[in-house]
Structure 1
Amino acid sequence: MTANPKPSIVFLHGSGTNPDIFRMQTRKLSAHLEPHFTLHYLAAPITCDPGPGVLPFFEGCEPYLTWMDDSSAEAEAAYWNGDSNGLLGKLVEEIKGLGGGDGGDVVGLVGFSMGGKVATEVVRRLEAAGDRRVKVVVPVCATVPLQGGLVKGGGKDETKEKEYREILARGVARAESVHLIGERDPWRSQSEMLVDFYDEKGRSVIRFKGEHHMPLNDAINSRVSKIILTACKIA
């Protein structure tokens, strides 16, 4: 163990990818962060089909993984409402356990798509327990629990809407946040909704000219890294 280990940042991939794919997708941002942080890419626990845009570029890069079963409102609600022994509770404990070896405490989370809403709930659960180790969260093209109650065609599902409102009512995250939202992302409306899960005093919103992907623009990634460094008092 080093005398002064670097603080850690956790990366949570989107549904239908995996840590190796996410390392490639976040290469621009990680290049800015690696000198200052230990980066941890965690693997979701459930195998699934490849996600949007994964094929054909990442063909043969199995297994493709997801954080939850969102095939129905009831299945997804079980993820958010589970106890400490559930999948979300186990992820929270895994993140709390990081920091050994050459890595310091986890001070930031970066989550793409489904990983963005998972990162949001992780920090809210930590904060609810009085744990403020996470200083900043970066949801990228993120979705929201229960798709915000939305269903295909723009209608409402009463079960989804009820569960979504209950989840939102549990309180906002106090950690600083940087929301990266693709202007042409098919899930943009969900990314905009997730902003409300964070305290307005500490949130930044960066909209970029792109679809459902990590932004590769150097200026944007440099800007995000500076916000992270400042939030973690490294700048």
Structure 2
Amino acid sequence: MTNTPPNPTDLSLPRILCLHGGGVTAEIFQLQARSLIKALPTFRLIFADGPFYCPPGPGIVPVYEDYGPFRRWLRWLPEHADIDDEAAIEEVMYAIETCKRGDPGTGPWVGLMGFSQGAKLAASLLYDQQVREEKIGVAETAYKFAVLLAGRQPLMQLSEYSVGPATLGAGEISEGFRYEGPNEHVLRLPTIHVHGLNDAGLHLHRDLMRKYCHPDAVTLVEWDGTHRVPLKKTDVDKICTEIYRVAKEQGVRC
């Protein structure tokens, strides 16, 4: 896990949990997100490592080949080892909680930010919090929003409360899933969707936004890029403007 926010001496800043894509690491995601970190100085961005080892993801070698071993949160290829849903949830949640406990910060955990597979997981965590509050009146987290960088459908089932035909078990292969029927699993907590217009998976990112997120809670930022984390100041500033707007609307002091 990586705990090096841009202003590490201020432990009271509100915190955003950051979840990397498949086949990278927390450290690599922190490097990929360096422009976002710089543009969000009043948050502590804390980067968690996924629990499962795997080969490097697309485009990671040669730039980051010395940063392994590489990790993932979910299965997306048949060669990824079988795991049952319950064990997959336990491993993912243990990795997240270990990271959160390891951070010396004292500010509230107010948001999630994920790229690619990490965005799918971030949306799923936010939905699980929402549905727990709806069905049993309490959740262990209080995230106010999620920033979804190139996140694909569907939502993953992180508890019995999110099981249904439109969602997928945490131990199942997450790529290639398509569901066209009615969907009762809709995120009503705020989500900021960042879509690269030249990303080969753009249609899947739009599916996550349109089929799994309530339009009243959605903010869309499009940029002229491929499947990567934006770096240019003009792109990053648009994203961070929306993050600050949504955070303040949700009562976050930042």
Q: Using the alignment, how far apart are the partners of 1:91 and 1:174 within structure 2? A: 26
Aligned to 1:39: 45
Aligned counterpart for 1:125 among listed residues 104, 110, 128: 128
Calculate the aligned-residue CA RMSD, in Å: 3.3
Q: Using the alignment, how far apart are the partners of 1:183 and 1:3 within structure 2? A: 36
Comparing 179-188 with 130-139, greater Cα deviation is found at: 130-139
1:223 aligns with 2:226: no
**Code of the aligned partner of 2:220:** V
Q: Using the alignment, how far apart are the partners of 2:36 and 2:74 within structure 1? A: 26
Aligned to 1:139: 148
Shift of residue 6, structure 1, vs aligned partner: 1.4
Aligned to 2:35: 28
Aligned counterpart for 1:70 among listed residues 50, 73, 76: 76
Cα distance 1:116–1:110, how it changes in 2: closer, same or farther (>3 A)? same
Shift of residue 77, structure 1, vs aligned partner: 9.5
Shift of residue 144, structure 1, vs aligned partner: 2.2
User: Whose helix fraction is larger, Structure 1's or Structure 2's?
Assistant: 1
Cα distance 1:3–1:20, how it changes in 2: closer, same or farther (>3 A)? closer
Aligned counterpart for 1:86 among listed residues 74, 78, 90: 90
1:19 aligns with 2:26: yes
Aligned residue pairs total 217
Cα distance 1:32–1:146, how it changes in 2: closer, same or farther (>3 A)? closer
What runs of 5+ residues in structure 2 fail to find an aligned partner? 1-8, 134-138, 157-165, 167-175
Q: Using the alignment, how far apart are the partners of 2:193 and 2:45 within structure 1? A: 19
Cα distance 1:192–1:78, how it changes in 2: closer, same or farther (>3 A)? farther
Shift of residue 114, structure 1, vs aligned partner: 0.5
Indicate if the aligned counterparts of 1:84 and 1:90 stay in contact, CA closer than 8 A: no
Q: Using the alignment, how far apart are the partners of 2:184 and 2:62 within structure 1? A: 40
What runs of 5+ residues in structure 1 fail to find an aligned partner? 150-158
Cα distance 1:51–1:25, how it changes in 2: closer, same or farther (>3 A)? same
**1:39 is paired with a residue of what secondary structure?**
strand
Q: Percent identical across equivalent pairs?
A: 26
Q: Using the alignment, how far apart are the partners of 2:49 and 2:96 within structure 1? A: 13
Cα distance 1:68–1:224, how it changes in 2: closer, same or farther (>3 A)? same
Give the TM-score normalised by structure 1: 0.79
